[in-house]
Structure 1
């Protein structure tokens, strides 16, 4: 106020200073409320520009107060981008030119005015740059928030899957297994009695035991589907034991190579379905006495083989021939292998029977894709 004359000019300077400081404080304190209004009404920035012009006219360009004028282009760039920054920077330069004409006689007024003008232009550019960076940071933060939300949902789903698996394992599977044991005991007691009187009872008990075993196998399959990743060796061990139990065919499981990596449930489901179909073929069509399941894992692929000592397939048998003669199970295995981008091999096993081998490349994504024509290696004698 030292350069203001007495009377109304001095009071105008005082009012501009007080209102400018209080307005800035209100904006900083309640930005959530005043910020949107300022964004919606750019003309409100003219009030700030007016207060700054009044103070600058009384303080001269050589005063430290003059450097506060760079805040207007900076804020305009932050709020309104290139267009707003250009408009308010231009208006601020007009104010500086007016002030310079009023203080041209003051020593150093020209140099200080030029310096402040450069600062105003630079502040406008910095404001726009900060605005763009904040928008990019906001977009990245939103993407990170969405990814975090998806991870939270996935964790919740995984937790629910694990809970359901535990509940079913502790209730349904054990109950069905107990039912199978009870039915077997009933069948055994029927053997110790009069065969003629209890023949029908024995048959019914045996039927109940078989149904309970099938239900237990289905519940285990459901438990496997509830997991996001399936332990293939454990599932093959269960399938082999179940197959040997209800067919009385000696079944072994051999693991070669390295450890088997966890597989997505869909991939493991297709592989287990192929193994189950191969086992059923050995039981129904091959008249096999022994079946061997081999699991071989390497760094590049995973191979599952089912070998039996049954009659085997004719040397010239192809998938097309099998389809024409009613062997749609072989075609289904080939289609499942094609879904996984895997190779299926159908030929004669070392035991003299049939060998079904599926090789899944681990270097490629093991998720289902569009089926393509199956690849079959030539059957060997």
Structure 2
């Protein structure tokens, strides 16, 4: 009789479990599968802490912060065997590892890798990366592969904290401008217009100094002074000074006497209007100005030479007359 009563109580307990919700305050241990619903859904495990979610329909997990909402986010295995998230974003607090490509969107876009840490970005459209400091902005800067197979940046500047290496030319702008090299550390600057380098200490100034290749194939420097702390080798130097020394040949020019020149040399140790050795070592010289000063001395020397030539001719004339006079006196004896 006691055995029959115990059996009846067990049957009643089983009926109660199937008809009502149950709360388990401790752990629930199931040595086989857990089945529920009418679709043959089961949770199974074959090893370790693995979980196998199976059923006749599409298996998914639903997450919601509101008990009245169907779901805020769903983890679902679609019919195409793609495990996807719906209804929200996925945030990783650690790395995401995948053995194959990462696919997203509806354009066949994938991220793939074939070796090392390489990344292959593919899709039916134009692939790009967008960067923005404002979540309401489409992008502040875009790295995009254009249809002409040019990888370019849009919307901002690129700052390199280390060197930029490229095996071919660097192209920019819309004038066909390129920087190219054919050997060593050489640089070839080319473009449809006039090539130049601009230098400025003020970011608001167009340039303080410009190195430019002019239309007459002359490389010029404009807007500043060029200082070379070393030797300059050139076949020819053309200087355009502001003054020249032909005023020496003007009729109103007062030519210093040689006595004045001698006194100035003895007093100062250099020619008048010519910088001293001390001044040259301290300040250097202006080629155009110095050539003009040297020409002045050459022209003065030319005038001295002309004067001396006239004096020599005059003395020769006197000497000839004296000779004639001596011969006349000799003949009268």
TM-score bin, normalised by smaller chain? under 0.3
Bigger Rg, structure 1 or 2: 2
Indicate the structure with greater strand content: 2
Higher RCO (C-alpha 8 Å, min separation 6): 1
Indicate the structure with greater helix content: 1
TM-score (norm 2): 0.18
TM-score (norm 1): 0.16
